Structure 1
Amino acid sequence: MAYQTEVISSQPQVTINSYTVSSVSTSDWSSNVCDCCDDCGICLCATFVPCILGCKVAQDNGDSCCLPFLPGAMIALRTSIRSKYRIAGSVCDDWVVMACLPLCGLCQMAREQKMRG
């Protein structure tokens, strides 16, 4: 007597007939890193109470207000904002700005959020 077995797969099969490729365009920051005088309120806040401005920028990005107090977190915040708004650049660029010009970089992030918000 011969038995015939049938294998039934429990995993769904998907057939892809076509796909769409979309290109992601990038832009530049709306202001230069040293354009602090473009918004004197942001500039004064960064000069005298940078922790408050850092908390606001972090919260406006959907992050915790405590973020600016963590080592290296402002680099990550800048990278996140750049990615969110599809701004051209790299993590290395973000590191250089936040290591060399931290208050100017903070002002630039705040101006970008204000302009795009």
Structure 2
Amino acid sequence: LSVSVMTSHQPRPFVMAHTSNQWSSGICDCCQNVPECEWALLSFCYTKHGECLCLPLLDGFGCIPPITMAMRVSVRNRYGIQGTICNDCLYSTFCGVCAWCQMSREMNVHEQNVNLVHNRAK
């Protein structure tokens, strides 16, 4: 008894996303996209990250800005970026504006860097 099975291979799209474990831009690359940095500073990236816009007010209390540091750690964890909490603390404390711009750029890269690629059957 012979059974013939017919299979059909359709082209399937697959998703390619940013897969690096490093930041897509440097901490001082604010001039890379000036309008984006301006927006990052005005909106504090909180709406992109799903947080309340009132959180930056908490950064004013204490030596280390806890919200900026927590957001930076969260962005690193969300996108699998290597780093240490010590570096996050230093960047948040001494380069807060640049840290916000970098986080905003990173979120944009991950939101926009999803491409559909089609495999063609040969």
TM-score by length of 1: 0.67
Q: 2:48 aligns with which of 49, 54, 60?
A: 60
Tell me the residue number matched to 1:113: 107
| 1:20-60 deviations in Å (ceiling 9; x for gaps) | xxxxx8600000000111111023445xxx3x231xx1121
TM-score (norm: length of structure 2): 0.65
Which protein has greater RCO, CA pairs closer than 8 Å, 6+ apart?
Answer: 2
- The equivalent residue for 1:13 is none
The AA in structure 1 aligned to 2:51 is D
CA distance in 1, matches of 2:77, 2:52: 18
In structure 2, what is the equivalent of residue 90 of structure 1?
84
| Counterpart-to-counterpart distance in 2, 1:34 and 1:65 | 24
Moved over 6 A (4+): none
Shift of 1:92: 1.0
| Identity across matched positions, percent | 33
After superposition, the C-alpha distances for 1:49-97 in whole angstroms (9 at most, x for unaligned) are x3x231xx11211222212221221110111111100100011111100
Root mean square deviation of aligned Cα: 1.7
Shift of the 64–29 alpha-carbon distance from structure 1 to 2, 3 Å rule, reads: same
Counterpart Cα distance in 2 of 1:91 and 1:58:
20
- CA distance 1:45–1:63, change in 2 (3 Å): closer
Query: Distance between the aligned counterparts of 2:20 and 2:86, measured in 1?
Result: 17
Total equivalences in the alignment: 87
Q: Secondary structure at the match of 2:73?
A: helix
Aligned in 2, Cα 1:63/1:43: closer, same or farther, shift over 3 Å?
closer
Larger Rg, first or second structure (1 or 2): 1
Residues 67, 74 of structure 1: 8 Å contact kept: no
The question of 1:81 aligning with 2:75 is answered yes
Distance 1:29 1:67 in 2: 24
